Amino acid sequence: MGMYTELYVKCSLRDDVPSNVIDTLQHMLDNTRPQPELPHHQLFCDATRWRFMLQCSSYYHLPIATIQLLHDGIGGWYLTGRSDLKNYSGEIDMFFDWIGPYCEYGGEFMGYSLYEEDADPVMYHVPEAA
């Protein structure tokens, strides 16, 4: 048995986010969708459970995953909610590293992870534009 880590994400995606990023997020939220051409990132190479990480939940945190990918009808995409998983391969760090450059508002809060035995979360922020 392993320990669970909660993943919370809240970000607005940039207007120019590639369609394969949206398709990949939709697949991660609903594995009945066909697997798209995956982005080139360590998450999809080194983390064997990437496709389930946005759907997982346990009774160590909130016992339901609530992550949603919402479209505002104008062109904006929003990724928000929480899940929790056994973060064996560092999937959460890899996820934020992958999605961060596609989020708007450099420097803003985009989520956290909270290991089940820790008192304080690890905070993630959108990378500043280069």
The domains found in the chain, sorted by start residue, are: 5-105 (3.30.70)
Q: Say how many C-beta atoms besides its own lie within 10 A of residue 30's C-beta.
A: 11
Burial tier of 14 (Cβ tally within 10 Å: 0-12, 13-18, 19+): middle
Q: List per-residue pLDDT tens for the chain, 130 residues long.
A: 578 999 999 999 999 999 999 999 999 999 999 899 999 999 999 998 999 999 998 877 778 899 999 999 887 999 999 999 999 999 999 999 999 999 998 899 999 999 989 999 999 999 987 4
Query: Are the C-beta atoms of 130 and 100 separated by less than 8 Å?
Result: no
pLDDT of residue 1: 54
| pTM, 2 dp | 0.93
Q: Counting every residue, how long is the chain?
A: 130
